[in-house]
A and B are shown apart, each in its own frame.
Chain A
Amino acid sequence: MNTVDEFDVVIVGAGISGAIMAEQLGAKGKRVLVLEAGSGTGDRFWSSGGANSKRDGYESYMDTFFTALAKIPNAPYPDNPNAPQPLVTDLEPITPNQPLTNGYFVQKGPLPFASTYTRAEGGTTLHWLGTCLRMLPEDFHIKTEFGRGLDWPINYHDLEKWYQVAEKNIGVSANADEQNYHQIDNPSVQIPYQDGYDYPMEKIPQSYLDRHMAKGLQGMTVNFDGKTYPIDVVSTPQGRNGMPRGSYRPVGAVGDPDLGQRCAGNSNCVPICPIQAKYNALKTLMQAQKTHHVEIRTQCVAYDLEVDPVTNHISKVHYKQYSDPNSSDHVCKAVRGKVVVLAAHAVENAKLMLASGVGNSSDQVGRNLMDHPTMLTWGLMPSPIGAFRGPGSTSGIPSLRGGDFRKNRAAFRIEIGNWGWSWPEGAPIGTVPDLIDQKNLFGKQLKDTIASVYPRMFRFGFLVEQLPDPNNRVTIDPNYRDQLGNYRPVIDYDVSDYSRAGMAAAKHVSDMIFQRLGVEGYTEYNPSDPGYVTYQGQGYTYNGAGHLVGTHIMGADSKTSVVNREQRSWDHPNLYLVGCGNMPTISTSNPTLTMAALTYWAADNVYKALADM
């Protein structure tokens, strides 16, 4: 007779939300199994074993990164045909009625969805930048305030204490008296923090560029719809180890805890921090395992959720276990959990639910896929600003995140990039060879050219809000499958005029700032760019921010949302969904911190639910 393993909680996905769930419930004595589709590095920082028994550690990702030709966000994390992942290099403009199928995604357009994620133990936190912004209070009810998007079934004050928990456990470096934005003369963006609260670590020092900008933009304002808004440079809260406050101890690298206790300025946060000074979910997974109640099984791809027809509970999670990523050989297994948690990422959660036919009485599963269409502007500063040093971004301009203009167009946050033209042009790795091959520079002339240009390179990123749109969605199609026979995500995606109007406003602000600082503009948007859009006759290009939000949104009504405010499926009493898929709107903050806060809350809900089972 076949026996099926049974756990208190089965979690699908070993990224940040799965790790938080596992750690929180394991710490309370619940028996937890985590199924991870991709491969892992266990608790090793250094690879171990000889030629025959080599076991890869985190350092193997560095080796992969060094040899990768394109240093894209997934460059360090090897292709795994059994758990494929989307790549930035898959992108192309989409011809009408001709789906783009050359990558993992099947893109039906009309525009390409430009963001990616990582399918490996640790998930996309392996390559995230680490930005840990809170949402604004008004972001939770933009339908009521501005007649746009959707309201959340919770508000900022409901989430505040969970923000604190997430900031402590991720290990965020920032100063609360700056992040409350009380110094910004725009009440819409001000965020109430609990009296006396501060982040576990002091803010990461702002770059020379940040300070140069702050000085140059002091007192600057812009006008939208007859109202004046300030331009303020503020340091960005980061999941990156800095100087601890009080007795807090920064968490070093998994497998070598002496490493990574402080950011050491390797300037390589994306795609990989070589010392793990930047938070990644491997840290939380290690803490989960230390509870001795959590088991992690990597290379196990969940593909079907079985439903008990009587109770409507998810009775089994079926998964395919493989031993070699390059071989489709696998065995099918099943496991039971009193509670099942999907933590596989917005796209994969939706895919698994659609494949299993569960949780979709609202017909909202897979819908409302959002990102921050990210528009870049770039140029040369009149004097060297120390480009290519420090973390990818240490400050931004958050003062335009909120305001009445949201009735008419998308809000945006401005990210100040510390790495010159690395994003828009691939500098320096992608551009220096051109100086040699195309411009025939060598010797002193080459050195002088690099020295006179590269330290002045500058870029902004405008993270533009995108509204939930049921037609931006993930679906499945039996014609498109991966090597293991699992579905590939099929994506319909467009960028509305609301977001395009936000891009136009962003470009306007950028032009004003460039003029004020004397920046020589090099920004170029080409119709051949995959993310090229037009608005009122002008062209703009968006990139993916890696912020995949929506697909199983929470709401107050079971007819129009997938999960309730407890993050439990409306349809299945023992099914919880976690991750950015739960977020009904994206607003202007990078979603990871909010998602982590929500997940700590969800873990609490699961714990209480288990007590009643």
Chain B
Amino acid sequence: MYINEECKPIKVANNKLTPITTVQELHHNLQLAIELEFATLPTYLSALYTIKENTNVCAYNVIRSVVMEEMFHLTNAANVLIATGGKPALNNPEFIPSFPTKLPDKEEWFTVNLRKFSPEALATFKYIEEPAELAHGLITIGEFYENIIHGLVHLNSDSCVDLFPSGTCPQIEHKYYYGGGGIISKVTDLDSATFALNAIVVQGEGMPTSDWDPDKPLPLEEMTGIWSGDHPLFMQPRELAHYYRFDELAKGRRYICGDTHNSGPTGPEIPIDYSAVYNMITNPCSKDYENFSELRELNHEFNRIFTELLNQLHQAFNGKPETLEPAVGTMFRLKYAAQELMRNPIPDSPQEFYAGPTWEYISASGW
């Protein structure tokens, strides 16, 4: 089922996660969680924004809804970090991996690239969201969070540790988040912290169960996909975990009621047109534009907006949640800047590649 040579799973020798025994380790892991959730965004958004306007509407909306939910995950992880007295850090160059990259949670068995919307991109997306039950012996995002939850339980039972101290920074509230499944709830104790972290895993990989059965029908509601005897192109996306949403796009068909992991999607066809996509170069880097001042300038403009966004998010997670309001405006500007850049062919490119943003944080000295 792995269609891309480059992405073949690599089983790393040291694939065990270290148990968390101190608050410091907990904070480190939650910061990693934030970085992990954020690291998925450049790869999803790169593919998303290469889709030409008003084409591939279904794929566009599936990827978009997943992106929105990644932001939900990021916020949940950040809220747990804030609630346990930590300080999320988003305003530095190290916060962002340089692509190609491995994910920061030791999921080292696949590589994440920035690619145009393509079967190869979807294959990577599926790796990112792979259910633990499928990736035998490999570390998944689910297991990474499970390890954090174990750490929380362990530290919470230690009477010497004030795990949820008072007077922490304000968390991000429910009212700020929209556009995907899930509701942000305040983290105040072990239960609410576990709830927040579980929500991440459930949305990504599906409900974690001990008796996972690949022949068991997926949890789709009866109405999904066959509402009113019709086959709406766009079903209730929330019913399916990210992994299966991407699987639908990869297979070009909808999952319908009764479908299982092993059956794959058997529902109506999803029209996908891989040619209605800007031919963005894989893993764009500033070197690609060194001879082309216009592309360099557009990419720099993108990175400036991207940096502004990270600074705003950093503020929002460090005492000023209301900064999220202008940050939403910045997210829109980021999209426009990306799309503007992606419309440009790279001159003299033998493969007729187009430009794409490099997703770099510009340190204060670089402005």
Per-residue interface assignment for chain B, residues 312 to 343, with 1 indicating a CB less than 8 Å from any chain A CB and 0 otherwise = 00000000000001001000100000000000
Of all chain B residues, which has the CB nearest A258?
B65
- The CA of A350 and the CA of B61, in the complex, are separated in Å by 43
In the complex, given contacts A49-B233, A256-B237, A265-B332, what are 6 additional A-B residue pairs having Cβ atoms less than 8 angstroms apart?
A: A43-B228, A48-B230, A48-B232, A241-B178, A255-B232, A256-B61
Q: Using a CB–CB distance below 8 Å, which chain B residues touch chain A? A: 57-58, 61, 64-65, 68, 174-176, 178-181, 183, 227-228, 230-234, 236-238, 268, 325, 328, 332
Q: Provide the residues of chain B in CB contact with A259, threshold 8 Å.
A: 61, 179
Of all chain B residues, which has the CB nearest A296?
B228
Would you call A49 and B231 a contact (CB within 8 A)? yes
Q: Provide the residues of chain B in CB contact with A59, threshold 8 Å.
A: 57
Given the known interface contacts A247-B174, A258-B237, the answer about A46 and B58 at a Cβ–Cβ threshold of 8 Å is: yes
- The CA of A393 and the CA of B159, in the complex, are separated in Å by 57
Q: Provide the residues of chain A in CB contact with B238, threshold 8 Å.
A: 257-258
Would you call A264 and B175 a contact (CB within 8 A)? no
Of all chain A residues, which has the CB nearest B68?
A258
- The CA of A187 and the CA of B183, in the complex, are separated in Å by 42
Of all chain A residues, which has the CB nearest B177?
A261
Would you call A249 and B61 a contact (CB within 8 A)? no
Q: Provide the residues of chain B in CB contact with A264, threshold 8 Å.
A: 332
Closest 9 CB pairs of A and B: A261-B178, A48-B233, A46-B233, A243-B175, A46-B234, A258-B65, A244-B175, A262-B178, A44-B232
- The CA of A262 and the CA of B68, in the complex, are separated in Å by 13
Q: Using a CB–CB distance below 8 Å, which chain A residues touch chain B? A: 42-49, 55, 57, 59, 202, 205, 241, 243-245, 247, 249-250, 255-259, 261-262, 264-265
Q: Provide the residues of chain A in CB contact with B232, threshold 8 Å.
A: 43-44, 46, 48, 57, 255
- The CA of A42 and the CA of B233, in the complex, are separated in Å by 13
Would you call B234 and A262 a contact (CB within 8 A)? no
Q: Provide the residues of chain B in CB contact with A257, threshold 8 Å.
A: 236, 238
Would you call A258 and B57 a contact (CB within 8 A)? no
Main secondary structure of the interface of B (DSSP, over half): helix
Would you call A57 and B175 a contact (CB within 8 A)? no
Q: Provide the residues of chain A in CB contact with B68, threshold 8 Å.
A: 258
Would you call B180 and A258 a contact (CB within 8 A)? yes
- The CA of A249 and the CA of B228, in the complex, are separated in Å by 25
Would you call B178 and A250 a contact (CB within 8 A)? yes
Given the known interface contacts A46-B57, A46-B234, the answer about A258 and B227 at a Cβ–Cβ threshold of 8 Å is: no
Of B58, B65, B68, B234, chain A has the most CB atoms within 10 Å of the CB of: B234
Would you call B57 and A42 a contact (CB within 8 A)? no
Q: Provide the residues of chain B in CB contact with A255, threshold 8 Å.
A: 232, 234
Of all chain B residues, which has the CB nearest A248?
B175
Of all chain B residues, which has the CB nearest A49?
B231
Q: Provide the residues of chain B in CB contact with A245, threshold 8 Å.
A: 175
- The CA of A181 and the CA of B240, in the complex, are separated in Å by 47
Q: CB < 8 Å: which of B58, B174, B228, B325 contacts A244?
A: B174
Q: Provide the residues of chain A in CB contact with B231, threshold 8 Å.
A: 48-49
- The CA of A46 and the CA of B231, in the complex, are separated in Å by 11
Q: List 18 A-B contacts (CB under 8 A).
A: A42-B230, A43-B230, A44-B230, A44-B234, A48-B231, A48-B233, A55-B230, A205-B325, A255-B232, A255-B234, A256-B61, A258-B65, A258-B181, A261-B178, A261-B179, A262-B178, A262-B179, A265-B332
Would you call B233 and A44 a contact (CB within 8 A)? yes
Q: Provide the residues of chain B in CB contact with A43, threshold 8 Å.
A: 227-228, 230, 232
Task: Write the nearest CB–CB distance from A148 to chain B, whole angstroms.
Answer: 44
Of all chain A residues, which has the CB nearest B65?
A258
